[in-house]
Structure 1
């Protein structure tokens, strides 16, 4: 881990996003339009995953295209795969940018052989990553410098890009998903817009309150444990993560028992089984992207191994599998190969040999065992 990620006491510090504008009919610059905005994401990154999920759930895939960086983050940052005219024409004809995961096929390797055999310089288009059709950038950093030649921080995903002005609207995931949920792009999406509201007014305060402690203690908590550079800080942070997983488990247990007393059958219960209220909200989206990575990477790679979700948290586990198997947007934007390879190959300070564990198997269990 680069020392710029750590404080003097060895604790992890997250970078504050520099670009934080919105899209709105009232905004002096960034106004709603079909095809004007583009998302640059990593399928491995939980923060970028939030934006992919919201884009899919809101029915905005035809409005906002997606490019996916290579899963391997090297010392120069995120990179795109090379582009040529034939590939560009094929991608345009098949509308691959409009896919829920930017056209990634969802399988990095023959499952009969270890995913760990895939080399870091593997460059299979629409498997390891995609390209940038807008600026033909080789690196994500190219876009940052185009937006601000004096930019001097890390080059993070996601990036919401304005193809018209060649500018970054926002690189703050929490803000991007609020913009996508706001409805400002529903009109240009037409009949494809789902009209789903992930932050309904009557639940907004509860969602914000839930998000606030989940972010600090779980979403970011696993990073604070994994990137800790002293035993004292690691032990404090990993204990805190599991204390708050216990809290989520308690919330979901009470929710499940209440629903079970009101409705007949598991399907009816699961259709209302969410963290806040009885409908899918932003709180579920933001928690999901951490929980779905927990057993595959955070348990072993970030040493968050006091328990696993599948063995220690039955109500979180049921909630996770319900989202993954019953909602296409969750399943189609979750790529376990990108996730596992990115973490184990990109964090050489944590995993200097770059070995990628085979397990857990399966990546996620069936909804009904």
Structure 2
């Protein structure tokens, strides 16, 4: 979808163009190896964020390097593309490992005749420069279950076998009505389809509020992939989906259980420490010129609220189950602290009241 043109039909997501799987035993043709792959993401994208959280929770930072594209896409031959820039640590606007300016170059290295869309995340084979996969769900599942000894000691079970059916069922509902529903609302081509999409968004939020009132996590008693999939949307809801995508019946902060759940996870290693609200706001408000032609970037909401107490410990469970928290974020991957993000947006930081 072009950023400067509204669709004439309801938004539909195409299947991943490339979906090679990477596993410890290489049974699908690609073997998990330290240093072999580079993960290309954008901090604004919720689909990429899922993979970044999975990689961090599983301790794969040393095995799979990370490259971050600029929050504002560059128009190349009439289409928006994810590009590298000085702002995100790429000298001369080229990724220092792959040597490319735009992610599409990895797509074309894999398939020179490819003329489809380019999306993040992209898992790239470093030696060849070829795109391996842009299938965000499968990359997450495989990193959570198939990377063997490359994952850290104490990594949590994000996709435990006995809970997979429930995780998949909950995730499918969340994807249909909420993850993708906010986009169907924001890019609705007419009133009827907007009404249908936004009604489903809030029906799902209402159902999640009920589900999370007396349980700490979506499925089971610790964090699973279901939580990562939901949380990536919740983290962006008040900042961009509420206003920019017209999902403004209620804010996330008006849902007591959901807002406490979201804060609980934000304060859990792997969630808040991979979130950059400045990139989120700049991307959505600057790139989607069809629905925000001025390109003016909204200032709020105040990010300090994410650090206030949530009280969810009283519901039992623990974030990592029998596992342990991940270690510190590698220095080169650290996002600015909330105070710095707020000041960069023009806000006046006030320490949250606990």
The TM-score bracket by the shorter chain reads: 0.7 to 0.9
Q: What residue is the counterpart of 1:95 in the other structure?
A: none
Aligned partner of 1:50 in structure 2 is 50
May I ask how many residue pairs the two structures share in their alignment? 305
Residue pair 2:4, 2:290 contacting (<8 A) in 1 also: no
> In the aligned structure 1, how far is the partner of 2:91 from the partner of 2:232?
20
CA contact (8 A) 1:253 1:315 kept: yes
Structure 1 residue 47: Cα displacement? 0.2
Q: In structure 2, what is the equivalent of residue 70 of structure 1? A: 70
| 1: CA distance, partners of 2:131 / 2:32 | 15
| Pair 1:276-2:255 in alignment | no
Q: Per-residue CA shift, 1:171-198, capped at 9, x if unaligned?
A: 01000001100142x4135xx3433210
State the partner residue of 1:332. Answer: 273
Once residues 23 and 79 of structure 1 are traced to their aligned partners in structure 2, the CA distance between those partners, rounded to angstroms, is: 25
Q: Could you tell me how far apart the structure 1 residues matched to 2:266 and 2:195 are? A: 31
Question: In the alignment, which residue of structure 2 is the partner of 1:16?
Answer: 15
CA deviation after TM superposition for structure 1 residue 22, in Å:
0.7
Aligned residue in 1 for 2:139 = 176
Contact 1:69 1:129 in 2 (8 A): no
Corresponding position of 1:92: none
Conservation of the 8 A alpha-carbon contact between 2:70 and 2:87: no
Q: Tell me what 1:300 maps to.
A: 243
Secondary structure, aligned partner of 1:142: helix
**Aligned twin of 2:171:** 211
Runs of 5+ in structure 1 lacking a partner? 82-122, 256-272
Write the distance in 1 (CA, Å) between the matches of 2:37 and 2:6: 33
Provide closer, same or farther for how the CA distance between residues 127 and 134 of structure 1 changes in structure 2, counting only shifts above 3 A.
closer
In the alignment, the residues of structure 1 paired with residue 91 and residue 224 of structure 2 have an alpha-carbon distance, to the nearest angstrom, of 31
Unaligned runs of 5+ in 2: 310-353
Tell me which of 199, 206, 214 is aligned to 1:239. Answer: 199
Given that 2:3 and 2:289 are in contact with CA atoms closer than 8 Å, whether structure 1 keeps it comes out as: no
Question: Displacement of 1:130 after TM fit?
Answer: 7.8
Which residues in structure 2 correspond to 1:157-168 (within 5 Å)? 157-168=120-131
Match in the other structure for 1:187? 149
Match of 1:140 among 77, 97, 103: 103
Alignment equivalent of 2:282, drawn from 313, 337, 341: 341
Other-structure match for 1:112: none
Q: Kindly provide the CA deviation profile for residues 231-260 of structure 1, in whole angstroms up to 9, marking residues without a partner as x.
A: 1111111111000100111100132xxxxx
1:23 deviation in Å? Answer: 1.0
Query: SS of the residue aligned with 2:235?
Result: helix
1:165 Cα shift? 3.5
CA–CA distance in structure 2, aligned partners of residues 223 and 142 of structure 1: 27
Aligned-partner Cα distance in 1 for 2:154–2:93 = 27
* Cα distance in 2 between the residues matched to 1:352 and 1:362: 25
What TM-score comes out, normalization by structure 1 length?
0.78
Q: Return closer, same or farther for 1:169/1:193 CA change in 2, 3 Å cut-off.
A: farther
What is aligned with 1:229?
189
1:247-303: per-residue Cα shift (whole Å, max 9, x none)? 111100132xxxxxxxxxxxxxxxxx1111111100000000000000000001000
How much is the aligned-residue C-alpha RMSD, in angstroms? Answer: 2.2
| 8 Å contact from structure 1 (residues 252, 275) kept in 2 | yes
- Give the equivalent residue in structure 2 for 1:319: 261
Deviation at 1:139, TM superposition (A): 0.8
CA distance in 2, matches of 1:125, 1:212: 33
Distance in 2, matches of 1:287 and 1:129, equals 36
Residues 126-135 or 302-311, more deviating: 126-135
Alignment TM-score, normalising by the size of structure 2: 0.81
User: Are 2:252 and 2:259, in contact at CA under 8 Å, matched by a contact in 1?
Assistant: yes
Corresponding residue number in structure 1 for 2:27: 27
SS at structure 2 position matched to 1:351: coil
